[in-house]
Chains A and B, each alone.
Chain A
């Protein structure tokens, strides 16, 4: 079966750095996405990785290791507005997005 695992909840302090991990087992791989979702709102696109390595975009970076079936999202200089759920999703061999359940990130002052 297809499976995406990520922690259910994480807590971090304003101004700090947090790393949210995602491991996946899917039938084929055509890229990995990270989305941010605030409570009661739709997911918004953050990043896309298809090759191994680190993609940096401002305060957010995303890393991928295809051989390990592993990705992480790194958030720096945390702000209160970063409190949200972060969803990892993999595009499988049928170009279907397989979603994780999301990691709820709580930022404390």
Chain B
């Protein structure tokens, strides 16, 4: 499945399928991007990051793709598991000050058995 939008959409994925979460960022000067996972009542948990000099980076079961031309970021989760159910946020390093992150609206991922 695929989720597009910035108003906390919900992505329902069957266990074992691949998930794709999309994010559009705003600042063309942003040079560092991070994907976070947030479970209910908890702080954000780092998943994977990518710098603007790259267009793809892979981690364990996750891949981040960066398209600077259209200012688009995506997170792919392979073989989605029930433990992947959470809200996923992309964040960009704001161009005006290193260290300040601007978060996207988030996507709720629900993994069904």
Tell me, yes or no, whether A binds B: no
